Amino acid sequence: MRILLLLILAACTQAPPVYVSRIPAQSEYMACHDIQTELLIPQIDISGLEKNYQNVKEVVFKNNCASCHFGSDSYLPHLDDYNSLMTVVNVNDPLESKLWLTLSEGKMPPSYTLDSREPEAMAFLKAWLKEGAPL
């Protein structure tokens, strides 16, 4: 089983061939993307998790946002930095926060909606926001 997964990953991470005899269908790229994402997402039980920033970062941002929003040279907001994150959170009206609206309107992540792929992560983020987005 493990070898099979490695083979799939290897096939998915291969650079495109130099001589392309036909243009691969969009669905082929998507299939690889989905397989990689499925394999990399750890199954986390969020029911007992304390609602704090560290856990939101682990459960929500690490899997879905890190490639673009982690690191100081990344796009704003820097989701790996609490103070930067708080520039898109309104503690007085959390569900009107830019962070929540961007996700619930399906604008971020750009290639899928978080709610369709990881509803638990979405629910955890909402619960954390409702508690005032504690550190």
Kindly list the residues in this chain that would bind ligand HEC in the complex (CB under 6 A).
64-65, 67-69, 75, 77, 88, 98-99, 102-103, 108-110, 114
CB 125 within 8 A of CB 47: no
**Which two three-digit tokens encode residue 87?**
């520039």
Please, what is the minimum distance in Å from the beta carbon of residue 56 to ligand HEC?
10
Please, what is the minimum distance in Å from the beta carbon of residue 9 to ligand HEC?
20
Which residue, 6 or 40, has its beta carbon nearer to ligand HEC? 40
Please, what is the minimum distance in Å from the beta carbon of residue 28 to ligand HEC?
20
Is the CA virtual torsion 26, 42, 118, 74 positive or negative?
negative
Please, what is the minimum distance in Å from the beta carbon of residue 43 to ligand HEC?
18
Which residue, 28 or 115, has its beta carbon nearer to ligand HEC? 115
Backbone angles phi, psi at 47, to 5 degrees: -60, -40
Which residue, 5 or 69, has its beta carbon nearer to ligand HEC? 69
CA distances from 15 to 18, 19, 20, 33, 36 (A): 9, 12, 12, 14, 15
CB 64 within 8 A of CB 114: yes
Which residue, 87 or 131, has its beta carbon nearer to ligand HEC? 87
